């Protein structure tokens, strides 16, 4: 059995020399070993294993890294993998549009990135993806489970939808099922409503589980919130420098099992301006993203904000579903889409 807890194989910090592959945002790659890997630090040291490399040891900053792959030890037989109850199956899309599928892993200590156990890389035990390299994060499992439980789709249908999603990354599983006429827009809305009724954990717990903050930071933020009740916990953590809005967005997406999306390169049909008036978009800070078979997808910073979804449902007569984006992304996208 593989230990995926902190300090397990490839688990920072202080683990034995790990063979790793580092892929950079500029498309270059390096392979070597790290004596210890600590994502709480801004850099790490890589000892190159590439023949003829005239720089045997490099100090590498996470800002330029796309992904770090921790390779399996070929001398150790591959064992059965078990995951903690907090693990989530997700698809991560990088800034260059490529994607990777994996199971999230917890880690005791704050970091600026996601540890994943990849589902389709046989020689890789785990990967680390810095937040700065992530464009979108999509949960590929929870909605399917809900639809199956409610008898709206069979497990086989869900599995086919997930497989198709891996080829069509811009679509959510629910949208694929809708397009295939496995479910109706009304059923999709019902499934999403049930999904949001059971977020499972508070935002602070999700940030802690994903390793974006540590326990001390969470306790300090909660103490501050007790004195500033008009502010949400995520805002307080950003103000305190413990998290970024992108971390908050990804954590909310994991919490509510909806996609996190980077809107900077999103192409939007201009006709959607007629569905969502500019005054509504600016008042609620939402952006219409797509319309498909009677289902309107909107970008929003807070997926718990039900009032805007109710208003848009009344205005358009459509089923409304959400994706999470940062407040800054939404503000810029509204200006770009509607004009200054």
pLDDT digits (tens, 9 = 90+) for 145-167: 544 555 554 545 545 554 554 44
What pLDDT was estimated at residue 286?
92
Same domain, 120 and 28: yes
Q: Could you tell me if 211 and 293 lie in one domain?
A: no
Residue pLDDT, tens place only, 187-205: 555 555 544 444 456 778 8
What CATH number is associated with residue 297?
3.30.300.160
- Pair (99, 150) in one structural domain: no
Say if CB 191 and CB 198 are below 8 A apart. no
- My answer on whether 276 and 236 are in the same domain is no
Q: Which of 83, 103, 135 is a domain's end point?
A: 135
| In a domain? residue 93 | yes
Cα atoms in the 13 Å half-sphere on the side-chain side of 296: 25
155 and 239 in one domain?
A: no
Domain membership of residue 319 as a residue range:
262-340
Does a structural domain hold residue 338?
Answer: yes
* Residue 139, SS3 per DSSP: strand
Q: Would 175 be classed as within a structural domain? A: yes
Question: Is 7 part of a structural domain of the chain?
Answer: no
Q: Are residues 223 and 170 in the same domain?
A: no
pLDDT in tens, 88-140: 778 889 988 898 888 776 655 556 788 888 877 778 888 999 999 999 988 65
Ranges of residues in the chain with a pLDDT under 70 are 1-17, 52, 54, 78-87, 105-111, 139-201
Of 212, 227, 256, the one marking the end of a domain is: 256
Q: What is the pLDDT of residue 205?
A: 81
Q: How many CB atoms lie within 10 A of CB 215?
A: 12
Residues 145 and 221 in one domain: no
Q: Which residues pair with 287 in a beta bridge?
A: 299
144 and 62, same domain (yes or no): no
Q: Alpha-carbon distance 225 to 322, whole Å? A: 27
Domain-embedded: residue 71: yes
Query: Do 293 and 338 share a domain, yes or no?
Result: yes
Q: Are 321 and 189 in contact (CB under 8 A)?
A: yes
Percent of the chain at pLDDT > 90 equals: 20
* Helix axis angle, 155-165 to 142-149, nearest 10°: 160
Shared domain check, 316 and 244: no
How many domains is the chain partitioned into structurally? 4
Domain boundary among 198, 216, 231: 198
pLDDT for residue 185: 57
CA R_g for the chain: 21
Residue 119 shares a structural domain with residue 24: yes
Domain co-membership, 84 together with 24:
yes
Contact 114, 229 (CB under 8 A): no
Q: Parallel, antiparallel, or unpaired for β 43-48 and 57-61?
A: antiparallel
Note whether 291 and 209 are within 8 A (CB). no
Asked whether 128 and 210 are in contact (CB, 8 A), the reply is no
The separation between CA 185 and the C-alpha centre of its own chain, rounded to angstroms, equals 25
DSSP assignment string, 163-228: HHHTT-TTS-HHHHHHHTTSS-HHHHHHHHHHHHH---S-HHHHHHHTTSS-HHHHHHHHHHHHH-
In a domain, 63, yes or no: yes
pLDDT of residue 251: 84
In a domain, 192, yes or no: yes
Supply the pLDDT for residue 189.
Answer: 57
Q: Is the peptide bond before 13 cis (omega within 30 degrees of 0)?
A: yes
Residue 96 lies in a domain: yes
């Amino acid at each position: 059995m593989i230990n995926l807890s902190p300090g397990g194989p490839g688990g920072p910090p202080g683990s034995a020399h790990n063979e790793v592959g580092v892929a950079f945002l500029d498309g270059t790659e390096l392979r070597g070993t790290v004596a210890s890997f600590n994502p709480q630090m801004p850099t790490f040291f890589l000892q190159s294993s590439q023949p003829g490399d005239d720089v045997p040891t490099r100090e590498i900053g996470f800002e330029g890294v796309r992904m770090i792959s921790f390779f399996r030890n070929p001398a150790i037989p591959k064992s059965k993998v078990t995951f903690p109850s907090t693990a989530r199956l997700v698809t991560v899309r990088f800034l260059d549009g490529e994607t990777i599928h994996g199971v999230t892993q917890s880690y005791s200590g704050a970091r600026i990135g996601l540890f994943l156990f990849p589902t389709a890389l046989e020689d890789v035990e785990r990967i680390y993806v810095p937040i700065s390299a992530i464009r979108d994060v999509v949960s590929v499992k929870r909605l399917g489970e809900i639809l199956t439980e409610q008898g709206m789709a069979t497990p086989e249908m869900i599995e086919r939808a997930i497989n198709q999603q891996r080829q069509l990354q811009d679509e959510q599983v629910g949208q694929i099922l809708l397009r295939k006429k496995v479910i109706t827009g009304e059923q999709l809305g019902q499934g999403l409503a049930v999904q949001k009724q059971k977020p499972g954990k508070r935002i602070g717990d999700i940030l802690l589980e994903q390793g974006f903050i540590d326990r001390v930071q969470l306790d300090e933020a909660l103490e501050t919130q007790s004195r500033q009740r008009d502010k949400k916990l995520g805002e307080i953590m950003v103000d305190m420098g413990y998290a970024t809005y992108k971390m908050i967005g990804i954590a909310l997406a994991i919490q509510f099992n909806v996609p996190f999306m980077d809107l900077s390169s999103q192409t939007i049909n201009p006709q959607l301006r007629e569905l969502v008036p500019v005054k509504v978009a600016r008042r609620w800070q939402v952006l219409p993203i797509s319309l498909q078979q009677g289902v309107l997808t909107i970008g929003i910073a807070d997926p718990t904000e039900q009032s805007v979804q109710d208003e848009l449902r009344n205005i358009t007569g459509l089923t409304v579903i959400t994706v999470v984006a940062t407040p800054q992304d939404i503000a810029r996208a509204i200006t770009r889409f509607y004009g200054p």
